A = this chain, B = another copy of it.
Amino acid sequence: MPERSPLAPAHFPQMPPVAGVRLAATACGIRYKGRTDLMLALLDPGTAVAGVFTRSAMASAPVDWCRAGLKKGRGRAIVVNSGNSNAFTGRRGRESVRRTAQTTARLAGCRPEEVFVASTGVIGEPPPADKIIAALPALRNSATATAWNPAADAIMTTDTFPKGATRTASIAGTKVVINGIAKGSGMIAPDMATMLAFVFTDAAIPPRVLQSLLTQANARTFNAITVDGDTSTSDTVILAATGKGPKHRKVTRVGDPHLRDFRAKLEDLMQDLAKQIVRDGEGAQKLVTINVAGAASEAAARKIGLAIGNSPLVKTAVAGEDANWGRIVMAVGKSGEKANRDKLKIRIGGVVVARNGAVVPGYDEAPVAAHMKTRDIVIDVDVGIGKGRATVWTCDLTHGYIAINAEYRS
Contact A358 B89 (CB under 8 A): yes
Contacts A123-B330, A330-B230 given; does A408 touch B90 at CB 8 Å: no
How would residues 355 to 383 of chain A score, 1 for a CB under 8 Å from any chain B CB and 0 otherwise?
A: 01111000000000000000000000000
Residue of B nearest to A319 (CB): B406
The segment out of A53-61, A129-137, A171-179 that lies at the interface is A53-61
In the complex, chain B residues whose CB is within 8 Å of the CB of A408: 320-322
A388 to B329, CA, bound (A): 34
Contact B406 A398 (CB under 8 A): yes
Contact B233 A329 (CB under 8 A): yes
A20, chain B: closest CB distance, angstroms: 35
A365 to B359, CA, bound (A): 53
Contact A327 B88 (CB under 8 A): no
Contact A313 B405 (CB under 8 A): yes
Supply 20 A–B pairs (Cβ within 8 Å), ascending by A. Answer: A55-B336, A56-B334, A57-B332, A57-B337, A59-B341, A87-B326, A89-B358, A90-B342, A90-B356, A124-B354, A190-B317, A190-B325, A190-B326, A190-B327, A192-B326, A228-B312, A312-B312, A322-B407, A324-B409, A398-B406
In the complex, chain B residues whose CB is within 8 Å of the CB of A89: 358
A380 to B409, CA, bound (A): 22
A322 to B338, CA, bound (A): 39
In the complex, chain B residues whose CB is within 8 Å of the CB of A187: 313
A131 to B324, CA, bound (A): 25
Interface positions, chain A 70-129, Cβ under 8 Å from B, are 87-90, 92, 122-124
Is A280 at the interface (CB under 8 A from chain B)?
no
Interface positions, chain A 333-359, Cβ under 8 Å from B, are 333-339, 341-342, 344, 354, 356-359
Residue of B nearest to A318 (CB): B406
